[in-house]
């Protein structure tokens, strides 16, 4: 990283050989440098020595503190106005407004580029501009893709090193293959000569924009999480979904698990899990079933492609786990806590007096004293939470204590089933198998989530098709059509089976009826049985459901009567549901695939 260039107000002067032969990349880097006017440029190589320099620099400037209780780990505290994703300022800048669809915020690409031209002009003065070549997916894999992020944040460099396959090896692949996704980021806090920096530089003006036609991502003003480490949601899903549609594959917001029964072959299952529905718990599931093992391949993203034999195969495009700390505790997800034992970046968690981190719910008993995420003294009597509700951790995937050995296979793993996780207190049964691929896409399109607060559970459920509503780079109607078309590219008997699950159903007293957490493996056991052809099911108006006896409840306190309710199909409730589904599908206008309206009509007819 020592080689680079210095930038003056009028000319960029080389101070060493730029470490690439890629003319297009060299030209683009110079173009961004001319716009942003950094003091110097560094090309990141992903080495251990570089990590040490970057983290030492972050410690020296007060951005992070070392955690003596966790080797090679650090805690950062953002400024209070830069602690969440900038959802309201995240845009899809497609050439035509209608191509962004109703689930995205659209900005005219020319207007957005003009805005960025003003904001980025001189935005890196007094700072180093880092050039980060990276691969999403295993290096050189058939499903993998390449990118380069330019940033003036050393914290982003550290985050990208954990989260992506970053450095010289990725640069060599870019030189071989030619193309790459362009990512530009600035915290928007230029430094005048002699001006002291602050621990967490940012700008009150914040924008995150995606240009699908040119495969570019631009971010300004924020140094937090997904707003700045652009390999995460921005590349993996928003731009990745556009690339997948154009090139005939799938970029999905999904967990991938390896489920192995006591006897028999392992099965790989993908699951779309909306926010607040237990994604990290599912990814690191410790099954409460004797002899069964559950291993993680991805915790958040899955890129999938049908191979030449018609088998859908999935890879993890990420190299690290970037998750929300809240909800991961000793009693709820001990595997997550074990995974982040070292080599981890924490953001906006609290600090303990002995140099460790803590967040609300991490342990049953809170510490007697903490320094909260705002830098204030905190005790259990304090009215505010100790950690920010969106406090983050970033840790290497390779440290996951339940990691499957195939997680880094460039060819990907064969997917046998895809699951859509819903959160509904009524109506939706514990588990439903789709009749076929088109019906399964209908189930995924109708995926719904109720607010987690009991006081709000009577509100209209929110649709989150395939758990992608917040992360899709184009029109949702076209996305659903793409899924239908993908199912027509191979023989029906080679397609994965599709399922809906709902382990959040409640009884008349408002209590959860299914124990959840590790016991969810019992539902996955039935799904594996359906893939293997040795688990019972019967047809209902909404899909194939297990009889009560088909779900293994040995050792549970769940009664047969409760299981019958968990697996019930209530026509009156479903007739109300189909009206809500029709209202949602109608929102996509003439881009709603006709096949989904056919599925809707068939459901109404089956309900009688």
Which of the pair, 46 or 276, is modelled with greater confidence? 46
Coil, helix or strand for 165? strand
Mean pLDDT computed over every residue of the chain: 94
What pTM was estimated for this model as a whole? 0.94
The Cα–Cα gap between 317 and 336 comes to: 20
273: pLDDT strictly greater than 90:
yes
Helix and strand counts by DSSP (H, E) for the chain:
16, 32
Count CA atoms within 13 Å of residue 212 on its CB side.
Answer: 29
Catalytic residue flag (residue 446)? no
30 exposed, middle or buried (CB, 10 Å; 0-12, 13-18, 19+)? middle
Q: What is the pLDDT of residues 98-119, one digit of tens each?
A: 999 999 999 999 999 999 999 9
Return d(Cα 448, Cα 204) in angstroms, integer. 34
Residue 15: which pLDDT band, with cuts at 50, 70 and 90? very low
Query: What pLDDT does 38 receive?
Result: 98
pLDDT at 8: 46
pLDDT digits (tens, 9 = 90+) for 163-178: 999 999 999 999 999 9
Q: Where are the alpha helices (DSSP H) in 260-361?
A: 279-283, 334-339
User: 2: pLDDT confidence band, cut at 50, 70 and 90?
Assistant: very low
pLDDT of 3 over the 70 cut = no
On the question of pLDDT at 297 being above 50, the answer is yes
Q: What domains appear along the chain, each with residue ranges and CATH number?
A: 4-63+84-248 (3.40.449.10), 251-319+405-607 (3.90.228.20), 321-397 (2.170.8.10)
Percent of the chain with pLDDT over 70: 96
Give pLDDT, residue 458.
57
544-574 residue pLDDT tens: 999 999 999 999 999 999 999 999 999 999 9
With a cut of 60, say whether residue 352 has pLDDT above it.
yes
- For residues 330-349, give the mean pLDDT: 95
Q: Please, which residues bridge with residue 392 across strands?
A: 324, 347
Say if residue 365's pLDDT is above 70.
yes
- Is the confidence at residue 451, as pLDDT, over 90? no
The closest alpha carbon to 304, from 293, 312, 295, belongs to 312
Are 473 and 210 in contact, with CB atoms under 8 Å apart?
A: yes
Count CA within 13 A, CB hemisphere, residue 299: 28
Beta 4-7 vs 40-43: how paired, if at all?
antiparallel
pLDDT of 353 over the 70 cut: yes
Q: Examine the pLDDT at 288 and tell me if it is beyond 80.
A: no
- The per-residue pLDDT for 454 is 55
Q: In whole angstroms, what is the distance from residue 327 CA to residue 598 CA?
A: 40
pLDDT at 555: 93
Residue with token string 């460039």: 410
Residue 460 has a pLDDT of: 84
pLDDT value for 264: 87
Q: Are 110 and 21 a contacting pair, CB within 8 Å?
A: no
- The 10s digit of each residue's pLDDT in 38-96 is 999 999 999 999 999 999 999 999 999 999 999 999 999 999 999 999 999 999 999 99
Confidence grade of residue 17 (pLDDT, cut at 50, 70, 90):
low
Residue of 93, 277, 294, 446 with catalytic role: 277
């Amino acid at each position: 990283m020592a080689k680079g260039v210095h930038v003056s107000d009028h000319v960029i002067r080389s101070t060493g050989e730029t470490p690439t032969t890629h003319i297009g990349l060299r030209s683009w880097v110079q173009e961004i440098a001319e716009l942003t006017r950094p003091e110097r440029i560094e090309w990141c190589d992903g080495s251990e020595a570089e990590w040490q320099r970057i983290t030492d620099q972050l410690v020296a400037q007060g951005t992070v503190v070392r955690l003596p209780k966790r080797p090679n780990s650090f805690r950062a505290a953002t400024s209070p106005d830069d602690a969440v994703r900038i959802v309201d300022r995240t845009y899809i800048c497609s050439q035509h407004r209608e191509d962004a669809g109703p689930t995205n915020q659209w900005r005219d690409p020319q207007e957005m580029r003009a805005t960025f031209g003003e904001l980025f002009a001189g935005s890196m003065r007094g700072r180093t501009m880092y050039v980060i070549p990276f691969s999403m997916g295993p290096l050189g894999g058939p499903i993998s893709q390449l990118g380069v992020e330019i940033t003036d944040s050393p914290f982003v460099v550290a985050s990208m090193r954990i989260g992506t396959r970053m450095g010289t090896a990725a640069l060599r692949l870019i030189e071989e293959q030619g193309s790459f996704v362009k990512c530009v980021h600035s915290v928007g806090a230029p430094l005048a000569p002699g001006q002291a920096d602050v621990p967490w530089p940012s700008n009150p003006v914040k924008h995150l924009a995606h240009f699908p036609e040119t495969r570019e991502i631009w971010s300004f003003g924020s140094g937090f999480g997904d707003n700045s480490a652009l390999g995460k949601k921005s590349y993996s899903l928003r731009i990745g979904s556009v690339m997948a549609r154009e090139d005939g594959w799938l970029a999905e917001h999904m967990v991938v698990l390896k489920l192995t029964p006591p006897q028999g072959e392992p099965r790989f299952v993908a699951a779309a899990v909306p926010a607040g529905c237990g994604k990290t718990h599912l990814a690191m599931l410790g099954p409460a079933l004797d002899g069964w093992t559950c291993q993680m391949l991805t915790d958040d993203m899955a890129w999938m492609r049908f191979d030449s034999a018609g088998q859908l195969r999935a890879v993890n495009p990420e190299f690290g786990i970037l998750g929300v700390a809240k909800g991961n505790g000793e009693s709820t997800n001990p595997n997550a806590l074990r995974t982040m034992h070292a080599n981890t970046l924490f953001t906006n968690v609290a600090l303990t007096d002995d140099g460790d981190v803590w967040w609300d719910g991490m342990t049953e008993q809170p510490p007697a004293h903490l320094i909260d995420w705002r830098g204030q003294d905190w005790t259990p009597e304090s009215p505010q939470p100790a950690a920010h509700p969106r406090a983050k951790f970033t840790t290497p995937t390779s440290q996951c204590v339940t990691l499957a050995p195939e997680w880094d296979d460039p060819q990907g793993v064969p997917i046998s089933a895809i699951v859509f996780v819903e959160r509904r207190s009524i109506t939706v049964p514990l588990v439903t198998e789709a009749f076929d691929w088109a019906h399964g896409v209908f189930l995924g399109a109708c995926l719904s989530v109720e607010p987690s607060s009991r006081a709000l559970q009577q509100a209209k459920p929110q649709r989150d098709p395939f758990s992608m509503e917040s992360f899709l780079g184009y029109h949702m109607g076209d996305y659903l059509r793409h899924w239908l078309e993908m199912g027509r590219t191979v023989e029906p008997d080679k397609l994965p089976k599709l399922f809906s699950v709902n382990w959040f159903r409640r009884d008349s007293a408002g209590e959860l009826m299914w124990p959840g957490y590790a016991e969810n493996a019992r539902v996955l056991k039935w799904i594996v049985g359906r893939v293997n052809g040795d688990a019972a099911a019967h047809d209902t108006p909404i899909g194939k459901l297990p009889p009560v006896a088909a779900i293994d409840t040995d050792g549970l306190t769940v009664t047969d009567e409760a299981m019958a309710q968990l697996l019930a199909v209530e026509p009156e409730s479903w007739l109300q549901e189909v009206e809500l589904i029709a209202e949602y599908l109608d929102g996509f206008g003439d881009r709603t695939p006709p096949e989904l309206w056919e599925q809707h009509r068939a459901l109404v007819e089956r309900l009688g």
